[in-house]
Amino acid sequence: DVKVTQSSRYLVKRTGEKVFLECVQDMDHENMFWYRQDPGLGLRLIYFSYDVKMKEKGDIPEGYSVSREKKERFSLILESASTNQTSMYLCASSTRTYGYTFGSGTRLTVV
């Protein structure tokens, strides 16, 4: 019973391309998050959203934007992909105090 679904498991894109990473949750959670995870750096928060059409910057928003038009869907957009955005991208959703449920992750390689 998959609860947080990320559209792609592996993705290879070229430098300068616009990249869309999609995340859908079926738990009716208000809160959704996008992280990237790199060896030695841990999980770093890119953007999060507490409600439809609401978004807030995390710790490393540069080069990224997000969209949340529906409660269940939170999209991460790389406006112009660069090689330093090669990473594992993790989407999560949550309710207050319970903790996050993560998607399976998207490993993005920018060449």
What residue ranges bind another protein (CB under 8 A)? 31, 33, 40-43, 45, 48, 50, 90, 94, 96-105
Tokens representing 111? 């060449």
Residue closer to another protein by CB (options 10, 83) is 10
Residue closer to another protein by CB (options 45, 77) is 45
Question: In a 10 Å sphere around its CB, with 0-12 CB exposed, 13-18 middle and 19+ buried, how is residue 63 labelled?
Answer: middle
Q: Where are the alpha helices (DSSP H) in 1-111?
A: none
Residue closer to another protein by CB (options 17, 59) is 59
CB of 43 to another protein, least distance (A): 4
